[in-house]
Amino acid sequence: MASQDWFDKDFYKILGVPKDVADADLKKTYRKLARTYHPDSNAGDAAAEAKFKEVSEAYSVLSDAEQRKEYDQIRAMGSGARFTSGGQAGNGGFEDVFSMFNQGRGGGTRYQSEDFDDIFSMFNQQQGGGFGTGRFGQSTGGYRGYGGPTKGADVTARTTIDFVTATKGETISLQGEDGRPFKVKIPAGVSDGQKIRLRGRGRPSPDGGETGDIVVQVAVRPHPVFTRDGPNLRVTVPVTFTEAALGATIEVPTLGGEPVKLRVAPGTPSGRVLRVKGRGVATAKGTGDLLAEVQVAVPSHLDDAAREALERYHELEPKENPRADLMSKARG
């Protein structure tokens, strides 16, 4: 903060609080003003952003007990005081401040260094009118929000990738909403709707804080055969009635690889899941499995011979009612 601000700006008036305001009330007032004028709530409003910075500057001084004491002492000198640039090391640039003190030791007009110990402790005047290590005149490092300078805004981007890319992973090139191109590594196993955050790749902070991020939202196109179940892949495998009833060895497709053979046990019902270890999604946390769900396919057309054979089977099949247990439980 420039030294002149401490003379020209009434931080109590900016925050709308009395000079004897308690710390708790000061904090409560600042938070209310910060919420009202925060840039996130007033996108594109330069006046609100300036007001937010102004109240944050005021709070950064008044919330620090030592700085508040120094500020009150400086303000007590009077708002007409000015610092002059230039001057030699020593008291150059303090003419107006010293002119306010015309009482030396013994009532005369001679000034001795011990008369101004408190002033010199606040001002560490260097060559050229700059300020050194004294707290008065130190930069606040940008206006402070609830815990530090404001983080830069995030840049968002969206991409749609195919199912295989989502499972295998790939580095792709995208363009952010600000028009700038960038590369992003799609990790193996990314899910539909998942967001990938590239930290520190967004917009810079307006006040020296942390740079924002790039946030990429990923959409995954569905696959005609496979679906995701966490790290596992699912596939529905049709089987004939005779394969399910008598048992069979069938081929099951894999994602991007050769089919595998699975044994269907005699009497396998629709909905039974057969597991193929290690043929799911390979991620940094491990590799999932391929889950093949058996679905008995019912023929929609039968020739006369097939119909006659089924009718003979119907006469021979067990006379148990497969829905008897269902009905019993429903009456329950």
pLDDT value at position 89?
A: 40
11-48 pLDDT, tens per residue?
Answer: 899 999 999 999 889 988 988 888 888 877 777 788 88
Strand partners, 160: 219
* C-beta of residue 73 within 8 angstroms of C-beta of residue 84: no
Mean pLDDT along residues 225-254: 94
Per cent of the chain over pLDDT 90 is 37
CA distances from 149 to 54, 63, 209, 249 (A): 13, 15, 5, 66
Per-residue model confidence (pLDDT) at position 276: 95
**Which pLDDT does position 147 carry in this prediction?**
53
Model confidence at 78: pLDDT above 50? yes
Residues in contact with 93: Cβ distance below 8 Å, sequence separation at least 6, in sequence order: 83, 84, 85, 86, 87, 125, 129
How confident is the model over 195-199, as a mean pLDDT?
93
pLDDT: is 270 or 119 the higher one?
A: 270
- Return mean pLDDT, the chain: 78
Whole-angstrom distance, CA of residue 138 vs CA of residue 209: 17
Whether pLDDT at 312 is above 60: yes
pLDDT at position 148, please? Answer: 65
pLDDT at residue 168 in the model: 92
Joined tokens for residue 97: 């401040």
Predicted confidence at residue 322, as pLDDT, reads: 81
| pLDDT for position 99 | 41
Considering the entire predicted model, what is its pTM? Answer: 0.51
pLDDT given at position 251: 95
How high is the pLDDT of residue 117?
Answer: 41
The predicted pLDDT at position 77 comes to 67
Q: What local confidence, expressed as pLDDT, does residue 202 receive?
A: 86
Mean pLDDT of the 73-98 span: 49
pLDDT score at 5: 58
The predicted model gives 229-237 an average pLDDT of 94
Q: What pLDDT is attached to residue 40?
A: 73
Q: Which pLDDT score, from 0 to 100, does residue 2 have?
A: 37
pLDDT at position 164 = 94
Report d(CA 154, CA 163) in Å as an integer: 27
Does residue 266 have a pLDDT over 80? yes
pLDDT of residue 75: 76
pLDDT-derived band at 257 (thresholds 50, 70, 90) equals confident
Strands 170-175 and 181-186: antiparallel
